[in-house]
A and B are shown apart, each in its own frame.
Chain A
Amino acid sequence: MDLAQDIRDFFNETGKMARFTGRFFTMGIKPRYEIKELLAQCYIIGYKSLPLIGLTGFIMGLVLTMQLRPSLSEYGVESQLPVMVGIAIVREIGPVITALIFAGKIGSSIGAELGSMKVTEQIDAMEVSGTNPLKYLVATRIAAATLMLPILTILGDAIALFGSYVGINIRSVTNFHLFFSQIFDTLSYGDMVPAFIKTFFFGFAVGLVGCYKGYNSSRGTRGVGSSANSAVVLSSVLIFILDFLAVQVTDLLGLNI
């Protein structure tokens, strides 16, 4: 193992990725805009991810409620269960888990799709056909991922809270209206807005990493598999890093009260 070489490779890769991001901002967002392709990607990335995000959100809310109940009962604050679950889901668990599921589904799909297009010269064919692949393939996918993840997170959070409501009703009976008013009476803009804003960055990271890995895929099917895999790993790590930075920023702005 050559540690020096690994460090060099890391900085080399980071530099390439920074340059790719720069090309996205300089070329990808200039007109002419690929609106039709963007809408198609929003449908694929957003709408088609909804069943998976909904299912995992529902299970997350249900399980979290069932796991928290015994501890809260022990301290006699079982009535605070909706509030605890609501805050946990809206502030942290909802955005992060949704982003991780999104990275697994969309990051790998973008990485494999672009990787396969690269290997079979479809990207070259596109360029020869008067199409800038950075605009048509990359910009549309990054924009769709950035726009769709916040929407999916809101829907995922809502479904997770419904899962929590079902979880509470397994052992006791709670009124639907009472359950949700207890949560929303406690939640403030400081809980919701930063959590919502950070999902744009999560979505951007997933789209960017998926496109970068796919677009720079090496030759052969092994390269395509490797692109898909590393897209998921790197975007998952980036989600945690961005989440950490988001907490620091909201703390500095005094929103974590």
Chain B
Amino acid sequence: MEAKDNTYGSANDKGKGRAPVIVIEHLYKRFGKNIVLDNFNIELRTEENLVVLGKSGSGKSVLIKCIIGLLVPDKGNVLVFGENVPDLTHDELDRVRAKIGFLFQGNALYDSMSVRENLEFPLRRHWIELSQKEVDALVKEALENVGLPHTADMMPAELSGGMLKRVALARTMILKPDIILYDEPTTGLDPVTAREIDNLILKLKKKYHTSSIIITHDMNCVKNTADRVALLLEGKCYAEGKYIDFEQSADKNIRQFFE
């Protein structure tokens, strides 16, 4: 098996040939002496689910935090719709962030706010002019999308792990972003709930035509959601291709995810 920045699959792969929405070029990030990203290159194409696979601590979350501007890379470009995120001012970054949804690993719901207030927060904060009626309609739609229309007035502490993840997903989707970054969406969930989240990811992609980067080491999630898979190993994009190619690979660094 050929490794190191190899592209698997044929030219008619899903997403291939479509315009890239995110282009990552020569990305470097280190924390002290720990090199996390070391000349990492990848691109996300329109209406594509790209799964970034990697072991815990391999730098997957660092990668998507560089994309959304929560971390500043040491070197390299992170182009989102052609704009280089590390070069943007705070206001420019906010404008780009309005087009990106981010689902946090731990959900990151505001525990002092109700579900409704959590969902309203991004709508209010991006300074979008909306009437209360429009806000209510968007909240209702977002909660219906994740199958939790009755939870609007509940507090996050009253919800189960799976429900929290769904509400977090509803908040991520409420601005109808073009790109969604999922940070380990199924971690800590039971297999049934994890599959429900996978299905939601696919359903929302189909409904809103989003492009997504999904960070995970859950192979079922990879199998269910990926149009394309990239393996992040030692800070580099070690391999790239379709799930089936990864599944059939004899490379020991890839095989360890299937064993």
Contacts and interface: CB of A to CB of B under 8 A. Distances in A.
B122 A127 contact: no
Interface in A108-136: 117, 120-122, 124-132
Contacts, number: 45
Contacts of B121: 126, 129, 131
Interface in B95-131: 97-98, 100, 102, 104-106, 108-111, 121-122, 125-127
Given A128-B68, A129-B121, A130-B122, A122 B110 contact: yes
Given A122-B110, A122-B111, A124-B70, A130 B104 contact: no
A121 B68 CA distance: 14
B125 A130 contact: yes
B90 interface: yes
Contacts of B108: 120-122, 124-125
B110 A130 contact: no
Contacts of A117: 110
Interface in B136-161: none
Given A124-B70, A124-B108, A125-B102, A132 B126 contact: no
B38 interface: no
B25 interface: no
Contacts of B94: 130
A121 B105 CA distance: 9
B110 A128 contact: no
Interface in A161-213: none
Contacts of A124: 65, 70, 104, 108
Contacts of A120: 106, 108, 111
Contacts of A131: 121, 125
A122 B110 CA distance: 6
Contact of B127 (A125, A127, A130, A132): A130
Given A122-B111, A124-B70, A129 B126 contact: yes
A126 B111 CA distance: 12
A130 B102 contact: no
Interface in A62-120: 117, 120
A125 to B, nearest CB: 4
Q: Which of A120, A124, A125, A129 has the most CB of B within 10 A?
A: A129
Contacts of B104: 121, 124-125
Interface in B47-67: 65
Nearest to A116: B111
B110 to A, nearest CB: 6
Nearest to B68: A128
Contacts of B68: 128
B101 to A, nearest CB: 8
Nearest to A27: B90
A128 B126 contact: no
Q: Which of A121, A125, A127 has the most CB of B within 10 A?
A: A125
A229 B97 CA distance: 35
A128 B107 CA distance: 13
B124 to A, nearest CB: 9
A117 B90 CA distance: 21
A124 B102 CA distance: 10
A130 B111 contact: no
A151 B106 CA distance: 40
Given A124-B70, A125-B102, A132 B110 contact: no
Contacts of A127: 70
Contact of A130 (B65, B98, B109): B98
B106 A130 contact: no
B211 to A, nearest CB: 17
Contacts of A132: 90
A82 B125 CA distance: 53
A165 B122 CA distance: 53
A129 B105 CA distance: 16
Nearest to B98: A130
A43 to B, nearest CB: 14
Contacts of B127: 130
Given A128-B100, A131-B125, 8 more contacts: A120-B106, A121-B106, A122-B108, A124-B65, A128-B68, A128-B102, A129-B121, A130-B126
Interface of B: 65, 68, 70, 90, 94, 97-98, 100, 102, 104-106, 108-111, 121-122, 125-127
Interface of A: 117, 120-122, 124-132
5 contacts: A121-B106, A122-B109, A124-B65, A125-B102, A126-B110
